[in-house]
Amino acid sequence: MRKDGTGAPVGRRVVLGMLGLGAAGVAAGGYLQNGLDGFLASVTAKDPTGLSGLLPGGQGFRFYSVAASVPHRSDTDYRLTVDGLVDRPTTYTLAQLKAMRPTRLVRDVQCVTGWRVPHYAFTGVRLADLLAVVGVRPEAKALSFTCFDGVYSESLTLDQARRPDMLIAYEMDDKPVTAAHGGPVRLYAAPMYFYKSAKWLSGITVTDHVQPGYWEHYGYDVDAWVGRSNGRDDAPTS
Ligand SMILES: Nc1nc2c(c(=O)[nH]1)N[C@H]1C(S)=C(S)[C@@H](COP(=O)(O)O)O[C@H]1N2
Ligand SMILES: [Mo]
148 within ligand 1 shell (Cβ under 6 A): no
44 within ligand 1 shell (Cβ under 6 A): no
Nearest CA to ligand 1 atom 8: 65
In the predicted model, is pLDDT for residue 8 greater than 60?
Answer: no
Question: Would you say 154 and 145 are in contact if contact means Cβ atoms under 8 Å apart?
Answer: yes
Q: How confident is the model at residue 108 (pLDDT cuts 50, 70, 90)?
A: very high
Residue 225, strand partner residues: 192
Nearest CA to ligand 1 atom 19: 63
For the CA of 70, the closest atom of ligand 1 is: 1
Distance between Cα 236 and ligand 1 center (Å): 25
Nearest CA to ligand 1 atom 20: 181
For the CA of 61, the closest atom of ligand 1 is: 21
CA within 13 Å, CB half, 44: 28
In the predicted model, is pLDDT for residue 196 greater than 50?
Answer: yes
Residues 157-171 have pLDDT tens digits of 999 999 999 999 999
Q: How large is the average pLDDT for residues 94-108?
A: 98
Nearest CA to ligand 1 atom 22: 195
Question: Would you say 152 and 217 are in contact if contact means Cβ atoms under 8 Å apart?
Answer: no
- Position 56 scores a pLDDT of 62
- Position 20 scores a pLDDT of 40
Residues 26-84 have pLDDT tens digits of 333 333 333 334 444 434 444 444 444 666 656 789 989 999 999 999 999 999 999 99
Three-state DSSP at 175 gives strand
Measured distance CA(175)–CA(89) in Å, rounded: 29
- Position 143 scores a pLDDT of 98
Three-state DSSP at 48 gives coil
- Position 159 scores a pLDDT of 98
66 within ligand 1 shell (Cβ under 6 A): yes
CA within 13 Å, CB half, 204: 31
- Position 232 scores a pLDDT of 75
Query: Which ligand has the minimum distance to the alpha carbon of residue 65?
Result: 1
- Position 231 scores a pLDDT of 85
Q: Could you list which residues have their CB under 5 Å from ion ligand 2?
A: 111, 194-195
Per the model's pLDDT, the better-predicted residue between 143 and 30 turns out to be 143
- Go through the domains of the chain in sequence order and give each one's CATH number: 12-60 (no CATH), 79-230 (3.90.420.10)
Distance between Cα 120 and ligand 2 center (Å): 16
- Position 6 scores a pLDDT of 38
Share the mean pLDDT of the chain.
82
Percent of the chain with pLDDT over 90: 70
Q: What is the CA radius of gyration of the chain?
A: 17
- Following DSSP, what letter does each residue of 93-134 receive, concatenated? EHHHHHHSPPEEEEEEEE-TTS-EEEEEEEEEEEHHHHHHHH
